[in-house]
A and B are shown apart, each in its own frame.
Chain A
Amino acid sequence: MSRDPMETVAGASIESTARRSRQSDTRFYVCLGILGGSYLLLLVATLVADLFYTSPGHLWRALQSSEIRYAIRLSLISCTLTTLLSLWVAVPIGYLMARVRFPGQRLVDAIFDIPIVLPPLVIGLSLLILFQTAPGQALQRVFPVTYAIPSVVLAQFMVACAFAVRTMRATFDQISPRHEQVALTLGCTRSQAFWMVVLPEARRGVLTAATLAWARALGEFGPILVFSGATRLRTEVLSTTVFLELSVGNLEAAVAVSLLMVAAAVVVLLLIRTKGSESSFNRPV
């Protein structure tokens, strides 16, 4: 039995449309792949170049240096303190901003973002000026901050906390207020509802905020240089080590320390991706 000519034409048209659609899809994904791949290539190329520039010997010598060992120790301690301080502040701020509506909220929200958009050097300079004011100087007579270890933590905290606040705000935004309301009807006070329901449900967001704050603190350089100085065996952290080694022409040590920081950053980022992948970090606020 012969096919209807109209059916044959319709069949050919469908096939042609399908072919065009498949070709268009392929071109689309190839274009995206080329654009994304070029950036990926650049990132990997810089890491590979660093790796080939240094050797296990350079890395070993860097780790033997007492200054660099001090910088590693101070970096680990200051980043951990910064992370704890950031969470201490970011969790209540994030919760309040997500749950409470008040006049001037947009302005307050914008102020919390200032450390993210401000040049890092300006943050350091602003901290330096703040501690030169009368109240700042009075505080420093009791508790020295500027060019001392507390200034390192404070400089890291200024930036890292802003990222933690943003993350916690997004996290609490995505937890339905219904859960708290149910907890209230079950006999909880607001505080009990927060500790027993909201915070446990926000744990992935808290982990993401913590890792992000830690990573930001580790990479902070500008505010530390201005506010804490770069005194060896005093206020030197890993980022300032890279700067100091570069400034004396010791490129091998600078690269070795850079690779240590890259390794730490990769570990932290992997932690974010694996443990915090279901949290709100990558979603819009």
Chain B
Amino acid sequence: MISVEQLCVQVGGFALRDISISVPTGSYAVLMGRTGSGKTTLLEAICGLRRVLSGRVVLNGIDVTTLPPAARDVGFVPQDGALFQHLTVRRHLEFALEVRRWSRDRMARRVEELAGWLGLGPLMDRLPQGLSGGETQRVALGRALSFQPRFLCLDEPLSALDDASRAEICAVLETVCEHSGVTVLHITHNLAEADRLADNLLTLKNGHIESIDSQT
């Protein structure tokens, strides 16, 4: 479960105050809100990329508020994918596994599994420069899921995609969540996307969570 309790985060002149949300284990939560409402800041705080002034981030019952990002078990997909320009698709999928010193065999099996889920087989030796927007997001998703995190934070991963690519990635997300059982918090502006994917729909407005709709 992702649980955020009365979280306060300050970024320059902008502040998130007393934010509390809860995403049940294994569910897919979609967070909506206007541009500049603080959605990305909240996501970054959960990932450990923003210093928290007060409040707590609790993941599966463990208070991770002061833990570094590496210790949180959270996969992160930023808006533009942020692929590493010097690494091939295969090396992206291997990156977190190398950091964790997985064996060659185990790593190869995991990479093949991810490539299958995400349809990355023909792209494995390509560099990011040659990838389309949809392909970039699939690689970013594969990289974030590679180390089998229990939580996945997606920051508008589909916003820059055309309708066909968007539908394709939505299908990929559904498949991946079904296979991995990961708990997802997904930011989007797109209501259709939210309707398709969300178990829980959260809305962030004026620095506060104003409404929470449960669809299931």
Which of B84, B85, B146 is packed against the most chain A CB atoms within 10 Å? B84
Partner of B82, one of A178, A187, A188, A192: A178
A186 touching B143 in the complex, CB below 8 Å, given contacts A181-B69, A201-B85? yes
Interface members, chain B 53-84 (any A CB < 8 Å): 68-70, 72, 74-76, 78, 80, 82, 84
A184 touching B69 in the complex, CB below 8 Å, given contacts A178-B80, A192-B99? yes
Say yes or no: is B144 at the interface (Cβ < 8 Å to chain A): yes
Q: Do B70 and A188 touch across chains, with their CB atoms under 8 A apart?
A: yes
Measured in the bound complex, the distance between the Cα atoms of B82 and A184 in whole Å is 13
With a cutoff of 8 Å between Cβ atoms, the chain B residues found around residue A179 in the complex are 82, 84
Which of A182, A183, A188 is packed against the most chain B CB atoms within 10 Å? A182
Say yes or no: is B49 at the interface (Cβ < 8 Å to chain A): yes
Q: Do A185 and B69 touch across chains, with their CB atoms under 8 A apart?
A: yes
Q: Do B147 and A186 touch across chains, with their CB atoms under 8 A apart?
A: yes
Q: Do B78 and A187 touch across chains, with their CB atoms under 8 A apart?
A: no
Say yes or no: is B100 at the interface (Cβ < 8 Å to chain A): yes
Say yes or no: is B86 at the interface (Cβ < 8 Å to chain A): yes
Give chain B nearest CB distance to A224 CB in angstroms. 38
Measured in the bound complex, the distance between the Cα atoms of B72 and A181 in whole Å is 13
Say yes or no: is A251 at the interface (Cβ < 8 Å to chain B): no
Say yes or no: is A99 at the interface (Cβ < 8 Å to chain B): no
Q: Do A187 and B76 touch across chains, with their CB atoms under 8 A apart?
A: no
**Chain B interface size, under 10 / 10 to 19 / 20 to 34 / 35 or more:** 20 to 34
Say yes or no: is A116 at the interface (Cβ < 8 Å to chain B): no
Measured in the bound complex, the distance between the Cα atoms of B99 and A178 in whole Å is 18
Measured in the bound complex, the distance between the Cα atoms of B86 and A201 in whole Å is 6
With a cutoff of 8 Å between Cβ atoms, the chain A residues found around residue B147 in the complex are 186-187
- Which chain B residue lies CB-closest to A200? B86
Measured in the bound complex, the distance between the Cα atoms of B86 and A203 in whole Å is 10
Say yes or no: is B117 at the interface (Cβ < 8 Å to chain A): no
Say yes or no: is B204 at the interface (Cβ < 8 Å to chain A): no
Say yes or no: is A189 at the interface (Cβ < 8 Å to chain B): yes
Interface members, chain A 191-205 (any B CB < 8 Å): 192, 196-197, 200-201, 203
Q: Do B76 and A182 touch across chains, with their CB atoms under 8 A apart?
A: yes
Q: Is the interface of A mostly helix, strand, loop or mixed?
A: helix
Q: Do A185 and B49 touch across chains, with their CB atoms under 8 A apart?
A: yes
Quick one: CB contact mask for B143-182 with A, threshold 8 Å, 1 for yes? 1101100000000000000000000000000000000000
Measured in the bound complex, the distance between the Cα atoms of B68 and A186 in whole Å is 11
Say yes or no: is A64 at the interface (Cβ < 8 Å to chain B): no
Say yes or no: is A176 at the interface (Cβ < 8 Å to chain B): yes
Give chain A nearest CB distance to B112 CB in angstroms. 19
Say yes or no: is B96 at the interface (Cβ < 8 Å to chain A): yes
Quick one: CB contact mask for A92-118 with B, threshold 8 Å, 1 for yes? 000000000000000000000000000
Q: Do B80 and A185 touch across chains, with their CB atoms under 8 A apart?
A: no
Partner of B72, one of A185, A188, A189, A203: A185
- Which chain A residue lies CB-closest to B95? A186
Measured in the bound complex, the distance between the Cα atoms of B49 and A182 in whole Å is 9
Q: Do A187 and B86 touch across chains, with their CB atoms under 8 A apart?
A: no
Q: Do B85 and A188 touch across chains, with their CB atoms under 8 A apart?
A: no
With a cutoff of 8 Å between Cβ atoms, the chain A residues found around residue B144 in the complex are 185-186
Measured in the bound complex, the distance between the Cα atoms of B82 and A179 in whole Å is 6
Measured in the bound complex, the distance between the Cα atoms of B69 and A28 in whole Å is 55
Q: Do A185 and B76 touch across chains, with their CB atoms under 8 A apart?
A: yes
Say yes or no: is B38 at the interface (Cβ < 8 Å to chain A): no
Q: Do B99 and A182 touch across chains, with their CB atoms under 8 A apart?
A: no
A184 touching B78 in the complex, CB below 8 Å, given contacts A197-B84, A201-B84, A201-B85? no
List 17 additional A-B contacts (Cβ < 8 Å) besides A181-B47, A185-B76, A187-B100.
A178-B80, A178-B82, A181-B76, A181-B78, A181-B82, A182-B76, A182-B78, A182-B82, A183-B95, A184-B68, A184-B70, A185-B47, A185-B49, A185-B74, A186-B147, A187-B96, A200-B86
